[in-house]
Amino acid sequence: MEHLTTLAAHVRRELSKIIVGQTEAVDQLLLVLACGGHALIEGVPGVGKTLAAKSLARVCGLDFHRVQCTPDLMPADVTGTNVFRIADSTFQLHRGPVFTDLLLVDEINRTPPRTQSALLEAMEERQVTIDGVRYPLSANFTVLATQNPIEFEGTYPLPEAQLDRFLFKIRMDYPALEEEATILARYETGFDARRWLDVPLDPIDGGVLAAARAEIEQVRIEPGLFPYIVAIVRRTRDWPAVALGASPRAAVGLLYVARALAAMDARDYLLPDDVKSAALPVLRHRLVLKPEAEMEGLQPDHVISQIVNSVDIPKRTA
């Protein structure tokens, strides 16, 4: 168990040249790549959501495309379309930005549901269907979608079916006092986020990510941990404050992320603590709280913590 730990150390070191702080968010972005999932990144403007996504693609040597979501964005603007060629009277596929390794969908909640749904097939099956023909996407295809948590005017909330296809919901908060001072000091010495390509970054070898993914598959799971994971997910469905609980896809995601956390910790066996660490980012966007719970000020993170603590830990683990 060395490839994922090596990859994590490399990504942390290189991204720290551009991103100050946000260590938890950086680790979660890496986990999304290692697990082959997708992430919804939530944070106020100016905390580095877009910069982190672009830098991660550069460090990992991934092809990168970006979609800036607007109310007039159409599905064909994302997936592509067939264009008629007058010269030879044939149709030629004009590939959209979805044909890439890492796709940044900026402010995803600013585009209407019709365009949001264009990503459903791509995210789940890593393929798109255009005029009845299926086109495979990259094996590394990853969607990183951003949204602003406080601005709702002119936005279209993501439906539950869309949210459930995101493995993680990553929160990027304001930096700490010392971190914000470091940001200003960097700008004073010549750093400029608008010229992020000028910052020398050392990309990883192309095979490291694939090797890291293979390591995750080798993590052993004690049989008693399967009921533990299922119990956490099922309890979200009958918790008093929750109107809609997590799906079976959430249980699969919780298992896979917990295995990735074990591999990142250089272990080939799973612990209950890995499941606990994975619970918040995997489940926070999959729960719908009851109106009375929201009126009381409850947040999904608080409810998830209560649920996890209410489930008995298996006595026999690895």
Residue spans of the domains in the chain: they are 3-207, 218-310
Distance of alpha carbon 304 from its chain centroid, rounded?
Answer: 19
Q: Which two tokens stand for residue 202?
A: 């050392």
Q: What is the CA radius of gyration of the chain?
A: 20
What gap in Å lies between CA 149 and CA 147, rounded to an integer?
6
CA distances from 296 to 152, 244, 259, 284, 310 (A): 21, 18, 35, 18, 21
Instruction: Check residue 152 and give its pLDDT.
Output: 66
CATH 1.10.10.10 fits 218-310, yes or no: no
Q: What pLDDT, on the 0 to 100 scale, is given for residue 262?
A: 95
Q: What's the rounded Cα separation, in Å, for the pair 224 and 275?
A: 13
Conformational region of residue 154, where left means phi above 0, alpha means psi within -120 to 50, and beta covers everything else: left
Q: Do the Cβ atoms of 121 and 127 come closer than 8 Å?
A: yes
**pLDDT at site 151:** 67
- Distance of alpha carbon 197 from its chain centroid, rounded? 23
pLDDT of residue 199: 84
**Residue 194: CB partners within 8 Å, gap ≥ 6?**
none
- Residues of the chain with pLDDT below 50 are 317-318
Distance CA 271, CA 269 (A): 7
Write out pLDDT tens, residues 135-152: 999 999 999 999 988 766
| Nearest residue to 308 via CA among 287, 284, 279 | 279
- pLDDT in the model for residue 200: 86
Instruction: State pLDDT tens for residues 155-177.
Output: 888 888 889 999 999 999 999 99
C-alpha span between 172 and 183 (Å, rounded): 16
Alpha helices in 60-107 (DSSP H): 75-79
Architecture of the domain made up of 3-207? 3-Layer(aba) Sandwich (3.40)
- E strands of 1-157, at which residues? 39-42, 64-68, 80-85, 90-95, 102-106, 127-130, 133-136, 142-147
- Give the per-residue pLDDT at 190: 85
Question: Would you give the distance in Å from CA 309 to the centre of its chain?
Answer: 25
